[in-house]
Amino acid sequence: MPFDFNGRRVVVAGGSRGIGRAIALGFAKAGADVSICARGAQALEAARADLAACGRRVHASACDLADAAAVAQYVADAARALDGIDVLVNNASGFGMADDEAGWAAGLAVDVMAMVRASHAALPWLERSAAAAPRAASIIHVSSIAAYRPSTRAAAYAAVKAAINSYTGSQAAMLARKGIRVNAIAPGSIEFPGGLWAERRETDKALYERTLRSIPFGRLGAPEEVADVALFLASPHAGWMTGQVLAVDGGQLLGA
């Protein structure tokens, strides 16, 4: 399916590695101007260079998405750099796994509150986008299939991802009259160099192999396969979709 995002302005919160980087690159290759943020300076600069090679306008900024003031500043800076915002992608995760204070704090601060704060900060620009061009304004949250089932290994992570799914529907209902669509993607197990599953392949082979066996397609997913769905959700092809959470998991949930 061809995507044309020429003239569109896309902000990816958490866009330097893995799924976020693939989403940002997908939009840039389709003609969009793109802003990304992340905490790690080295990965951020590498992603910025890759985006710039697509020939589009690029903005990149270091940002601790657990910091409310930093989120507001980043979104404002991105909007100024791109002359507006048409699409906001909330991709960052604190990867708070354990059922303890640290696990819950990380997940709530980054997975949940950064999503809420970035959405609120971007809203004035998204409203202008929606007023200027029907179906142009869109918010996409990146959740996880962990949201759909209990987890003894990652209780806090599963719970905050379930909160994202719930908020997706509520936010979609609140913003529908403004012409802003809100959807989410729930990836399954995605593997890329330096990512969580690449690490587990080396450090926890039993978990890796058990997860691999649970996927009917017989392999873990790639970030680009999630990015393709993000582009679809932001495109006119999904212009009649809002409040939906799409699982991109190779059938992993079917074997749950």
Q: What is the pLDDT of residues 13-72, one digit of tens each?
A: 999 999 999 999 999 999 999 999 999 999 999 999 999 999 999 999 999 999 999 999
Q: With a cut of 60, say whether residue 1 has pLDDT above it.
A: no
Q: With a cut of 70, say whether residue 177 has pLDDT above it.
A: yes
pTM (2 decimals)? 0.95
Q: Which residue has the tokens 């997706």?
A: 168
Integer Cα distance of 196 and 194 in angstroms:
7
Integer Cα distance of 91 and 99 in angstroms:
22
Starting from the edge strand earliest in sequence, which strands make up the sheet with 245-248, in order? 58-62, 33-38, 9-13, 87-90, 138-142, 181-187, 245-248
Q: How many residues does the structure list for the chain? A: 256
Residues 179-195 have a mean pLDDT of 94
Q: Which domains does the chain have, with CATH numbers?
A: 9-255 (3.40.50.720)
Helices (H) and strands (E) in the chain, counts: 9, 7
Integer Cα distance of 123 and 50 in angstroms:
28
> For this structure, is 157 an active site residue?
yes
pLDDT band at residue 204, thresholds of 50, 70 and 90? confident
